[in-house]
Structure 1
Amino acid sequence: MFPLLATLSSVSNFSGTLLLLSSAVLYIGSGLFFKVPMSVQPLKAIAIAALSIGASQIEVRVSGCILGCFCIFLTVFKTNELAKKIPQSLIHCIQVALGVILITQGLQFAKTITWLHYGFFTQEFSNELLIFFISVTLVFLTQILKFPFLGLCASLGMLWTMFWSDPTFHTLNNTKATNSLPRIDVILLLVLPQIALTLANSVIGTKDVVNRYYGKIKHRVEIKNLLYSIGFGNIISALIGGLPFCHGSGGVTAHYRGGANHFISNLIMGVFLLLLAFIYFKNGQWLLNYPLPFTATLLIATGIFHLNLARPTWETKHGKIKLILATCVAVFTKNMLLVLGISILAEIFFYFFTKRHTNVKQD
């Protein structure tokens, strides 16, 4: 969560105070409303696309507002049936592409780290190799020991920000985002991949894992409630310049594995974020000044976890081809809209290829 907040702040010029404040309100509100530990996370497809192309703040806010309106619009339909029509392999292609972009952006940030700024040693090694090694180690330890090392790393980064960071030092330099009028092509690039992810992962997937982990607790996690939460929440957040957010099955799983079994964990997280927002407001800081080594490490580690989400598709007959194709498009273009389009074409091709192959066998 924190590295994506930092990139939204630095790349798209969001107020660090408003991002933290809106995140706090969303965490507290989600816990009180849903009555279970409910994740609140940045809209990853939008945040990562904004990071890769340098989308402006207004473009990100308009995209979040459009997604919110779309979620509210979906409440009049049978969302379960609609979500079932989205192939799981298509979602996995988007997740793999997001993972690839996260890793490549993390490596790019690693190149720019000046360790002397943080009071460490001289530059006598490859930043990329060191950060990548640390990221892989964190992922490995998290998988083996079932301990939320990424959350610990993120918290250490925030503590660094609170007590040792230089307010005049910014982790990322924004050279792409502008304050000009929103570009329609950029908004489409931000919104369309996010719609597929939100419907399948943030709504259907979240309801599924909540029932699996917290089924014995009386809660309000229903399809329409999730759509209303993401819908109205993003519209309001877009109006004030707050966090473009969603819920997510992966986030709920992280809460559960971290030991959260009551919605009070949301309240604790919310209070912590409120404290951070107050500190930023008091210091008069605009950008969310998150340490670059932590940003790069967490982006790469999160990207690796995203790659792992596609394992079920990788094990299918044509899944490897679909995922490799999505990966290549992501590596060479960093364009999530193009990834979505190519992946849809691949789904159509293999659908008719399989159907024709089946008919030939029957004949």
Structure 2
Amino acid sequence: MTLSHSISLPSSLLFMGVSNVLTGVMFGIPLPVQPMKAIASIAIARNFSMEETAAAGLGVSAVVGVMSITGLLSWAARVVPIPVVKGIQVGAGLSLVLSAGEKMLKPLGWTGPSPFDNLLWAIGAALALLLCTRAPRVPYALLVFTLGLVLAGARLQDTLTVRLFPSIPLVLPSRATFIHAFLTASLGQLPLTILNSIIAVTHLSADLLPEVPTPSVTAIGSSVALMNLVGCWFGAMPACHGSGGLAAQHRFGARSGSSVVLLGLFKIVLALTAGDRLVRLLEAFPKALLGLMVLAAGIELAKVGESLNVGARDLREEETGDVVTKLRVLDESERRDRWAVMMVTVAGLLAFRNDAVGFAAGMLWHWGLSANGSSSGRMPDGERQPLLHSR
């Protein structure tokens, strides 16, 4: 996107770095700040200008901000069934796995495309990852990322030019640009941001970091809105949070907000010193190493589906007084129905590569089971209860 002048890389690094620091301090969890993928894909495919990209991000942020202020995000979090949320997470994880295999690892040969990027490096990174699963404190991602930068520099045989105070553009989209960008890019991004970047994040945070206070959907939504309503005016990449990034941070050892604070400071330094010259270095980053890191993150995210019927949030029952969490035990029929809803969500997402389609498919399957009087909607004593509910 930088090469096609759809965004400003110095602005993106600067404002996303500041957002990393602020979210790390405010939420206390390794909450990622990552590009809005739907907007990115459309911007690349349609060769968006910087004004169009900014307008798309501002449109998404305006809608998310209104939903946060009015409480619609909290309502959505309550009514969306847990199996659908889990399906979005599992589908996003499998999408990462497929992307890593198809775009990064499959094109590699045993010795090509270069001595610094081939299947031998991928196998070495995979073996190192396997060894590090028994040593979770080893900073695998940091080591592999550093190695990748060294190899990229060796391929380029070039050095970065240090330049302070890079130029930051001011972007002012026209009214027509706002309308065009909203209809072509913002609408496709909204379901992804609401489901994966806000609702799924709160659930995943509670599952991965139960000892840390879970951010509310209102707080996460407000964060997404604010960081874009500031940064997009200066050519920064529209950004959001995401369950995939949170799973990746957790997989490689992050347990608090300090990790993303350090990441944010690193981005700010890069923005002020490396600027656009960093693009060449990142373009040369070995796909073998990047592919393995994305693959591991995808598997980590997909694993959250295993808790669907054992330990999911909607199965937890709390008592007053001393807080004691009890887990509701499901019968076989309930397990099958919940599993079916999750898998239909995953199938819709993967088949069309669209979170909105997966969400719609999962909700329709859930409503269909409810309308048919599925046995999973009955209490042991014969009383009716909602088929699925979210606390």
Contact 1:86–1:200 (8 Å) recurs in 2: no
Q: Aligned equivalents of 1:319 and 1:198: distance in 2?
A: 23
Corresponding position of 2:143: 152
SS in 2 for 1:119: coil
- Identity in percent: 16
Mapped pair 1:36 → 2:28: yes
Question: Alignment RMSD, CA only?
Answer: 4.4
CA gap 1:354/1:135 in 2 versus in 1, 3 angstroms:
farther
CA gap 1:269/1:285 in 2 versus in 1, 3 angstroms:
closer
Alignment of 1:1-363 (within 5 A): 13-32=6-25, 34=26, 36-42=28-34, 46=38, 50=41, 54=45, 56-57=47-48, 61-73=54-66, 74-77=68-71, 79-109=73-103, 110-113=105-108, 115-120=111-116, 131=122, 140-141=130-131, 143-147=133-137, 148-161=139-152, 164-165=155-156, 182=181, 184=183, 186-203=185-202, 206=205, 208=206, 212-214=210-212, 224-247=218-241, 264-281=258-275, 283=277, 285=279, 288-289=282-283, 290-313=285-308, 316-355=335-374
CA gap 1:333/1:224 in 2 versus in 1, 3 angstroms:
closer
CA gap 1:299/1:348 in 2 versus in 1, 3 angstroms:
same
Give, as a single letter, the amino acid of the residue that structure 1 aligns with 2:307. P
SS in 2 for 1:310: helix
Q: Aligned equivalents of 1:325 and 1:35: distance in 2?
A: 33
Q: Aligned equivalents of 2:359 and 2:125: distance in 1?
A: 27
Q: Select the structure with the greater relative contact order (CA < 8 A; seq sep ≥ 6).
A: 1
SS in 2 for 1:350: helix
CA gap 1:96/1:78 in 2 versus in 1, 3 angstroms:
closer
Give, as a single letter, the amino acid of the residue that structure 2 aligns with 1:103. V
Q: Aligned equivalents of 1:329 and 1:322: distance in 2?
A: 11
Corresponding position of 2:386: none
Give, as a single letter, the amino acid of the residue that structure 2 aligns with 1:342. A
Q: Aligned equivalents of 2:182 and 2:75: distance in 1?
A: 33
Q: Which digits, 9 at most, give the CA deviation of each residue in 1:308-363, with x for residues without a partner? A: 1222237732243334434444444323332222222222222323447757x959
The number of aligned residues is: 331
In structure 1, list runs of 5 or more residues that go unmatched.
Answer: 1-7, 168-178
Give, as a single letter, the amino acid of the residue that structure 2 aligns with 1:146. P
CA gap 1:160/1:241 in 2 versus in 1, 3 angstroms:
farther
CA gap 1:284/1:221 in 2 versus in 1, 3 angstroms:
closer
What is the TM-score when the length of structure 1 is the normalising length?
0.70
Q: Aligned equivalents of 1:209 and 1:333: distance in 2?
A: 28
CA gap 1:38/1:154 in 2 versus in 1, 3 angstroms:
same
SS in 1 for 2:371: helix
Give, as a single letter, the amino acid of the residue that structure 1 aligns with 2:62. C
Contact 2:345–2:358 (8 Å) recurs in 1: yes
Q: Aligned equivalents of 1:256 and 1:307: distance in 2?
A: 13
Contact 1:138–1:301 (8 Å) recurs in 2: no
Give, as a single letter, the amino acid of the residue that structure 1 aligns with 2:141. L
In structure 2, list runs of 5 or more residues that go unmatched.
Answer: 159-176, 311-334, 384-391
CA gap 1:61/1:264 in 2 versus in 1, 3 angstroms:
same
Query: 1:164: how far off?
Result: 4.8
Contact 1:203–1:247 (8 Å) recurs in 2: no
Query: 1:232: how far off?
Result: 1.0
